[in-house]
Chain A
Amino acid sequence: MSQSNVEISQEELQLNPHLKEKPDTLTRIFFRKFFKNKLAVIGSILLFIIIMAAVFAPLIAPYSYEQQNLIDKLKPPSSEYWLGTDRYGRDIFTRLLYGGRVSLLVGFGAVLGALIIGVSFGALAGYYGGIIDAILMRVVDIVISIPSFFLLITIVTIFKPSVGNLILIFALTSWTSTARLVRGEFLTLRSREFVLASKTIGTKSYKIIFSHILPNAMGPIIVSATLLIGGVILAEAALSYFGLGISPPTPTWGNMLQDAQNYTVMLTAPWYPFFPGLLILLTVLSFNFIGDGLRDALDPKSLD
């Protein structure tokens, strides 16, 4: 089925839809719809650049992130220091690259953890229903009823904030929305005929849950995950801003912002808080745009 007509251009396709003899696979429909959303495409490109920059930070960075140069402190952007220097004369560009690593790692890690917990809870509750559903969902209610930011602050002050701990804490506080979402999806999907049909061929429950129902619920899960990553990055920045996140010298976007919070810095070197703030904004915005794009692309009800 993979012969011919790969080289038909998008224009030709729009002029004559019959040109595409190639079957509309779900992936093709998905990509076509996703690429129509300009913001989502811009978001993906931006995010790709940010992720690559963070991953290859040691190769790109002109300096070491903890190399101090007290003579050059709070220098404006120049050819020597592309985005200027901070209070200890460290290169801001370098620190942003490394800071991105922490923010993104915490974001992805925490959301992965949240997904694992949330999907398991939601899937079990939605698939089995009844008492299991009632118990699991009350647990969710309890977790939701605790104001998560204050819980975060409390936990972080008790345990030493390391990247691992942050991921764990964020995962443990942010899985509830996923659990509710997945439960809802499972409630509607479990009564669909193909689930009954796969029961009649002897498929075991765990297989029905993971290989039959879960792929059908993947769309909303992916969307909520992308939106969640943005939220976690923001929360991590907020924690660092309060001085409760990863402690300096390790740079994060949040603790760089915090470091920049004083009058002299704000007045003499306004670019210092500007750049980490801009990066947080861009990253979170990209995730939200991508989330929106995915939502439209994965929704079977909106064709083209």
Chain B
Amino acid sequence: MTALLELKNLKTHFKRKKVTIPAVDGVDLKIHKGETVALVGESGSGKSITSLSIMRLIPSPPGEIVDGEILFNGQDLARLSDNDMCKIRGNDISMIFQEPMTSLNPVLTIGEQIIEVLMYHQKLSKRAASLKAIEMLETVGFSRAKELIDDYPHRLSGGMRQRVMIAIAMSCNPKLLIADEPTTALDVTIQAQILDLMKELSKKYDTSILLITHDLGVVSEVADRVVVMYCGQVVEEASVDDLFEEPLHPYTIGLMGSIPSLEGDLDRLYSIEGTVPPPEHFPAGCRFSPRCPHAFDRCRNEAPVLREIGSRSVRCFLHDDKEATK
């Protein structure tokens, strides 16, 4: 199966006064057609920068994709001209954001914002575009779409705005939808609606989804595969079932352990010791070693590589032997 999107050794660095900050440091990632891949990790692990790199929207300067390939349908996005990239954004790859309250332009009507995309990418006439816009709004579950078209964003609630964002993002039937923490700012009942909607649309249009989140509950709900990132690197990659059944990397185990559970009456929630080190102070060797309960000497001196174990992969010395037994 060929991948729809494949990141090969992607490195996005930020240069700040001679100091180089490797926000994304050699990420490999594959997304197949119709698949939902979740990208998880703590704040500062490089999830969002990875997604912005795919869109080529890294603020530059200071950011820059210094190495690696972003193969989308066999085309390397990292080497595409800005003009060609504009044609891909919104048409083949689109994106929704965490903050639905601020991602819609307050002075343009909902209709204008959808119609603009359709007219630009699909070369539709204004009439045809507005019909299609109404259709899209109905698809994302608005019953009075015709009236909504002339409304301004400030009249909508957060959940409604996120659905409008999804309608805009899906209006050109993109092959890949990048969702950057799409449910974080919404309350729980609305979260479920939005996730269901995304699942339904991805099935309907055969769209792959790259879901960026730190909510493992969301991950188990919608994802097919999970990629765990830490300090700009992928530390573990596995199918949802494998990962939740048996997380391999100590960091993943830590993340899983941090999920508050209703069973048992713990007084304190578990948390991983320490914090994500700032990129300019990444430790030598394994980047997780200072916080890892299982770290041994080798971890502090030598950097582990991402090693395939069956259908999954992990970046940890603890599982070096597993490859042989496979």
Contact = CB atoms under 8 A, between A and B. Distances in A.
Q: Do A and B bind each other?
A: yes
Interface in A17-43: 23-26
Nearest to A25: B152
Contacts of A1: 147, 150
A192 B99 CA distance: 11
Interface residues of A, number: 23
A215 B220 CA distance: 42
Contacts of A197: 95, 97, 103-104, 165
B97 A196 contact: yes
A193 B165 CA distance: 12
Contacts of A192: 102
A200 B55 CA distance: 7
A130 B61 contact: yes
Interface in A194-223: 194, 196-204, 211-212, 215-216, 218
B98 to A, nearest CB: 8
Nearest to B83: A204
A261 B186 CA distance: 71
B89 to A, nearest CB: 4
Contact of A199 (B89, B108, B147, B152): B89
Contacts of B201: none
A279 to B, nearest CB: 36
Nearest to B57: A199
Nearest to B165: A197
B97 to A, nearest CB: 6
Contacts of B121: 202
9 contacts: A25-B152, A130-B61, A194-B104, A197-B104, A199-B55, A202-B117, A204-B86, A211-B116, A212-B105
Interface of A: 1, 23-26, 130, 192-194, 196-204, 211-212, 215-216, 218
Given A26-B154, A192-B102, 19 more contacts: A1-B150, A23-B155, A130-B61, A193-B99, A193-B103, A194-B103, A194-B104, A197-B95, A197-B97, A198-B113, A200-B94, A201-B94, A202-B117, A202-B121, A203-B116, A203-B120, A211-B108, A215-B105, A218-B107
